[in-house]
Amino acid sequence: MVPGLKPLFDDVLRSPDENMALHKKTLALDALSKLAQQFSNRPDFHELIDVLLLTLSGQLTAVNTFAAFYRPGAVSAEPVYFGTGKFKKNAPPSLALNSEQRQFLQRSEEPLAVESLKPERCMMTLADELAAFGAKLIVPLVHKDELIGILGSGPRVSGKPFEETDIHLLTTLTHTVTPFISNSFHFVEIAQLNTWYLDILNSVKQGVFVFNHQYRLKKVNAPAMAILRDLRHDSVAVESLLHQPVQKVFPDDLFHDWSHRIRGGSSEIDNLRVENMAAGNGEQERIFKVYLGCIQREQDINTDLVVTVEDVTEQTQSERRLFELEKFSEKGEMAASISHELNNYLGMVLGGVELTTLALERGNMEKAAETLGKLKHNVISMERFTAGLTDYSKVTSGDENADLNGIVTETLSFLTLRKKFQKIKIRTDFDHTIPSLDMNTGHVSQLLLNLLNNAADAIEEANRQAGQITVSTSLEANRVILTVSDNGVGITPEVREKLFKTQFTTKAKGHGHGLVTCARLIRDNGGEIDLETEPGVGTAFTVTFPVGESILTPA
Amino acid sequence: MSDSQIRQELIDDGVVVLNPGRTLDNNNAHEMVEVISSTQEAGRNNIIIDMCDMEFISSAGVGSILGSVETSREAGGDIVLCNVSDAIMHVLVVLDLVDYLTIKTDRQQSAEFCGIPRG
């Protein structure tokens, strides 16, 4: 009890009848046991505090009572307030305690008369405001050395001072119920947090499914249910799916092989895995980007699997159109390049024919033989060029099981005939132990063509006299790695940020589809693309293809 | 939480009779406050609490009445208890509430107190 409080209780009215005092104690104990029982049953927190305040009011025969609860560690925060009678409507403004006031109350675990608080400098304002509010008594609720709240009482209905027995009972009551209140308040806080997290979860556009370690559905958000209902054409309820196995949530007839792929994923879900998966049938087929990740909690051996689903049908169709556009554009450039090369050869052939004709007209057989020899050499070069075209068309034909080294060789043999590559020194560094990729050869070729074209453009932009491109392959930790590096102009951080975004280009004639297409091709095949660059020095693109049963097959 | 249902009866415009049943304790004290509050908010500040069936009242039950009395009185009405059994009266005596609360013998007396003429 703080100094100054004791005298206020010295003049308590002692009950003249011991039996009366006994009856009061019996009533109080009965109230206590009922309260404890109710707190244990965790009913609605508001109702619980209301009953506590009514009990307090009845015990003290106080006109009205109030309670304020503080969130753990939240200094100066507005408390959660409850009141009865006239105290019900508004809380006194002083209840948002500062740290000094909080510490003072934490030290005083017994009832405090509001009047007795005034001499304490830090409590002076609080005391004045509480007195103006009509409060006569406050009781700090301290649990585990932390102030969790305050109970307060107005005057007694009789207008008489509080009796010592009342104060004793009040102390006992608050000590008994404080741990229960603390627990209940935490339950409320947890419930509010839970609601908050659910609101966040429901506000994202992706569908989120959480499965337990036995692949049974634990949690699902509203967009996820919308996806399910849309595909199933029914109004399936959340309740009917909770605790169901993954194959019931994603039935094979609608979600082709999803349950198998999801189950396959969780054995190695310490990292985020992303896959495109199809669902629905016929014209209603949708493409989803499916992110598989895990929630591993400390001291919990069971991992939850989080399946995040995003409908990318429109995006995929748009990217496919871009891809076709890119191929079309590439074909146009290639046709121009082929035409240019063939014209060069034809020009040389025509020149050779004219020289031979002239030599024959002059009867210079020796010169004629020499120019015919050159003519033959040019025709052989032409033949080589057209043979190269045929080989290149083979690697772009779309067969599976891509031999990465072979594709690099064929692509380079074709590209080096093109003018912009002719001044560039191209070096290869192959690892001949890499397995063949279980992916479309046309895609790999397309990817390589994009990277090499970009490298040549970067070298041209840098005005390098000794341009150099290095293409290397390697096998590292179950990953096949393709690196294309150049000593071109390099990429600034600003440009790098936008590099894989559609229709971003730094080239005067570029359309910005090249690297987007590359990234999509790689992602579609379960790979990753990264780059290291230094402006003015050069760039190295690294493409990684994970080696797994579904990705790679032995060469 | 509560199985009890507080019976309400409007006996005159402005006077409402409430019968909380056999007990008024932690289980229905909250509901009692809600019923009294909504009655007062509807402008009916004369409330008769008929305790004819009541066998037990707890501290919370007492508290549910105490917090509401002042509101009714400030609005020119009152909360009147009637048909109070000996056991309940004993509690009110122990708590020194007999002088504070308005206690009448029966509904008729209570109604008269609230200004409803005998008849």
Burial of A441 (0-12, 13-18, 19+ CB in 10 A): buried
A130 min Cα distance to partner chain B (Å): 18
Q: Are the C-beta atoms of A155 and A136 separated by less than 8 Å?
A: yes
Give the C-alpha separation, A477 to A482, whole Å.
14
The answer to whether the Cβ–Cβ distance between A157 and B100 falls below 8 Å is yes
Q: Are the C-beta atoms of B35 and B48 separated by less than 8 Å?
A: no
A140 min Cα distance to partner chain B (Å): 21
Note the pLDDT of residue A503: 44
Contacts of B24 by beta carbon, 8 Å cutoff, 6+ apart: B32, B54, B56, B57, B58, B61, B64
Neighbour-count burial for A63-101, b at 16+ CB within 10 Å, e otherwise: bbbbbbbbeeeeeeeebbbbbbbbbbeebbebbbbeeeb
Residue boundaries of the structural domains of chain A: 6-191, 205-311, 317-553
Set out the domains of chain B in order of their start, with CATH numbers.
Answer: 7-111 (3.30.750.24)
Quick check: helix, strand or coil at residue A278? strand
Note the pLDDT of residue A500: 65
B90 reaches A (C-beta below 8 A) = yes
Give the C-alpha separation, B23 to B5, whole Å.
11
The answer to whether the Cβ–Cβ distance between B94 and A62 falls below 8 Å is no
Note the pLDDT of residue A551: 41
CATH architecture, range A6-191: 2-Layer Sandwich (3.30)
B86 min Cα distance to partner chain A (Å): 15
The answer to whether the Cβ–Cβ distance between B29 and A51 falls below 8 Å is yes
CA A304 to chain centroid, in Å, comes to: 16
Q: From 3.30.565.10, 1.20.58.220, 3.30.1300.30, 3.40.50.720, which CATH number describes the A317-553 domain? A: 3.30.565.10
CATH architecture, range A205-311: 2-Layer Sandwich (3.30)
Contacts of A472 by beta carbon, 8 Å cutoff, 6+ apart: A428, A429, A430, A431, A482, A483, A485
DSSP run (H or E) holding A152: strand A146-153
Domains A6-191 and A205-311 share a fold: yes
Residues of chain B predicted below pLDDT 70: 1-4, 118-119
Find tokens 């390589």 and name the residue.
A448
The answer to whether the Cβ–Cβ distance between B33 and A23 falls below 8 Å is no
Note the pLDDT of residue A482: 92
Rounded to 5 degrees, φ, ψ at A217 are -70, 125
Note the pLDDT of residue B95: 83
Task: Write out the two tokens for A533.
Answer: 């660059």
Find, among A241, A384, A299, A327, the residue nearest to A513 by Cα. A327
**What are the CA-CA distances from residue A330 to residues A447, A483, B119 (Å)?**
12, 22, 104
A35 reaches B (C-beta below 8 A) = yes
The answer to whether the Cβ–Cβ distance between B97 and A61 falls below 8 Å is yes
A42 reaches B (C-beta below 8 A) = no
Find, among A452, A422, A447, the residue nearest to A544 by Cα. A447
Quick check: helix, strand or coil at residue A501? coil
B6 reaches A (C-beta below 8 A) = no
A312 reaches B (C-beta below 8 A) = no
The answer to whether the Cβ–Cβ distance between A57 and B66 falls below 8 Å is yes
B41 min Cα distance to partner chain A (Å): 13
Burial of A16 (0-12, 13-18, 19+ CB in 10 A): exposed
Find tokens 């209140």 and name the residue.
A181
The answer to whether the Cβ–Cβ distance between A34 and B1 falls below 8 Å is no
Find, among A275, A288, A294, the residue nearest to A526 by Cα. A275
B96 reaches A (C-beta below 8 A) = yes
pLDDT tens for the 555 residues of chain A, in order: 333 333 222 322 233 455 555 555 565 666 666 666 666 565 577 777 888 888 888 888 899 999 998 877 666 678 888 888 888 888 887 888 888 898 899 888 688 999 889 888 889 989 999 999 999 999 999 888 888 889 999 999 888 888 777 787 788 778 877 887 787 777 777 777 888 888 888 888 899 999 988 889 998 999 999 999 888 888 888 888 999 999 999 998 889 888 888 887 555 555 567 778 889 888 778 889 888 888 776 666 677 888 999 998 888 777 777 766 666 666 676 677 677 667 777 877 787 788 888 888 888 888 888 888 878 877 887 777 777 666 656 555 555 667 888 888 877 776 776 677 878 899 999 998 888 877 667 677 777 877 888 888 889 888 888 899 999 999 887 789 999 999 998 888 777 766 665 444 444 444 344 566 667 667 766 788 888 988 889 999 999 887 754 443 333
Note the pLDDT of residue B42: 92
Note the pLDDT of residue A270: 54
